[in-house]
Amino acid sequence: MAQLYFRYGAMNASKSIQLLTVAHNYEQSGKKVIVFTPAIDDRFGVGKVASRVGISREAIPISYDTDIYHIVEQEHPFPDCVLVDEGQFLHAHHVSQLTSIIDRLNIPVIVYGLLKDFKNQLFEGSQALLCEADKIEEIKTVCVFCNKKATHILKFKDGAPVYTGESIEIGGEETYSSVCRKHYYNPPLKKS
């Protein structure tokens, strides 16, 4: 029976590389996958899933008006699995479309993404995924300042922590760091 999996973690927890590995494993077994990624994440190009270790692949970009269910429904034969990167950037209606893929087409969907933004608030996509997922799995990484589990995302501007502003500002390690709760609330004065 198909299910919706939400695999979340802080930045640098290996979410994208895990998605790419799952896609590779399906395809090596002669199975078909469809990979999606939100168009807003254009760090490596629109419609590209890329890992910081240098591996990437093309994906179908998701914009606000994208009907994910319709795209998958038009595929013949149906894919054996649907994979979505950066699930935090989905909108609630996209998550509803993913549940329709599972419930109507009986295709498993695995979504990878962040849970919270740098203000320690759930992203819209993450909140919808938490409500609808059949299985929720944490992918762990460690704080950049200590060896505790990273549970928060800290944003930096000019080397100093920032706690206000737009929730979505695409950036990488130069802007955001994965930190534990202690270092989120009491970070070192400047990021080196």
**Statement: residue 44 has pLDDT above 90:** no
Q: What is the tens place of the pLDDT at every residue in 142-169?
A: 999 999 999 999 988 888 888 887 776 6
Tell me what the mean pLDDT of segment 181-192 comes to: 79
**Statement: residue 191 has pLDDT above 60:** no
Q: What is the pLDDT of residue 173?
A: 61
12 pLDDT band (50/70/90 cuts)?
Answer: confident
Q: Which residue has the tokens 């400047």?
A: 190
Calculate the average pLDDT of the chain: 91
Sorted by sequence, the CB contacts under 8 Å of residue 21 that are 6+ apart come out as none
89 pLDDT band (50/70/90 cuts)?
Answer: very high
Q: What is the tens place of the pLDDT at every residue in 23-35?
A: 999 999 999 999 9
The catalytic residues are 86
Reduced 3-state DSSP string for the chain: CCCEEEEECCCCCCHHHHHHHHHHHHHHCCCCEEEEEECCCCCCCCCEEECCCCCEEECEEECCCCCHHHHHHCCCCCCCEEEECCHHHCCHHHHHHHHHHHHHHCCCEEEEECCECCCCCECHHHHHHHHHCCEEEECCCECCCCCCECCEEEEEECCEEECCCCCCCCCCCCCEEEECHHHHHCCCCCCC
Going from the N-terminus, what domains does the chain have, and what CATH number goes with each? 4-138 (3.40.50.300)
